Structure 1
Amino acid sequence: MPSPVHPADHAPPALHRIVEFVNTRRADGDHLTTPAQLLTWLNNHDLLADPTNTFGAPATLNAADAASGSAVHEEPRADTIARSGARGVPQSGGTAGSRDGLVDAGGLQRALYLREGLRALLAENNAAPVQSPRPDGLDPQAFQKCRTLTDMLPLVLDITGPQPRLVPHTDDPVDFALATMLADVFAAVSAGTWTRMKACREPSCRWAFYDHSRNRGRTWCSMNVCGNRVKVRASHRRRTTP
């Protein structure tokens, strides 16, 4: 079962979206296993780009298209495979300008690379850095894959608003969405709130959450679930260790 979500877990809107993105893989399974599922998730979170806008303003699909997955190709496009990036990170297939083919297998793979990279970063915020190999619920190559992916995602400095900010500069819908979340990470780092973003320290969980505690010392998704599980294991070790 997925870890419980308490009202106090809710992060500021942009960071809450990152929490929900990371938590698409949880104890009850992975909820982003097909391009259609990714398309629906991006649409539900207002992350689909309008290719007619220079900075890629969000534009949602209608509910029928999102529900039917009619704008999805389940198989990887030939040009996407041919243009695979360094270290196996697939590049965009140039799908902008059409609702057909918004998300393909390459786009799904890029999204999963970012998701697991973010999970590793959140685990690091919780004093549990990724070390390979380690059976800790994290991809030991998550940082490497995420670093390669971030080199491919275009962000530019937008100085047209009240405050300068990083924004996506791409006409690929998936890359727009991923770059938007990266921009949200950078904004949180600048605001000093990024270190409140954590992944549960329990290896079998890794549920993402926003730490509202005053001293930023929260460790588990829930003391009643993972915190208690760790206490039981520690107690068992004390009883059985000579």
Structure 2
Amino acid sequence: MKAHLTATALCALLVALPAAAQQDQSRSTTPSRAEQNPTSSPMADPHKDGGRPESHGGTVHAPQVNASTPLPADLKPTAESLARNTITAQQYGNLASKRHTSGAVHELGDKMLLTNSRINRALTAAAPELGNVQMPEKERGTFDSLARDADETQFGMNVAQWVVQSYPQAISDLEKLGQQGQFQELASSAVPEMKSQLSEAQSILQSASNASGGQPTSTGTVTDPKKKSD
């Protein structure tokens, strides 16, 4: 009887062993979640905005805008004016940060891009139709001409001129929008940045004037390099 039981138990053990071995083998050959993803995706870098590093200290935090609160009708012209300015400023800032300009102009371009990108996102969050606003056609022609034909010095001067010419109205528009609760945080952070950039642009123009020994550079109009050369 004991011999019979022993034989029966041995048979059961032999049957169970392959299944257990197969299960162990399955576990050993199936990569764990960590093995499948040996390096997890890095957390978003708080010092980047749209893939661009915050290399010169601009605030990257995008203020929350209550998108459920419709933009009051009487503020739409102000918002559209500001949106046109931010789109244009982004274009000038992006080009200035890529061109071989002076350090001061390059730094100003980086800051313009960061600040105005943030303002633009907040505007389109509150009024999605503002996402269709484009750079004014006249401004586009001058900008394209500068991008093609202006040398380093001329381009830097024109960027500074554009800021001095356009930022006062943009700052006024943003301050007006900031009186509404949904834009209050945006205005409180972005207006000081824009005023600082305006001051930097004025310093760039003054430095250029001092270097040339001439009078302070006129800032009334951004110069089209083609028209200047004609």
TM-score of the pair, normalised by structure 1: 0.25
Higher normalized strand content (fraction of residues): 1
TM-score of the pair, normalised by structure 2: 0.26
Report which of the two structures shows the higher radius of gyration computed on alpha carbons.
Answer: 2
Higher normalized helix content (fraction of residues): 2
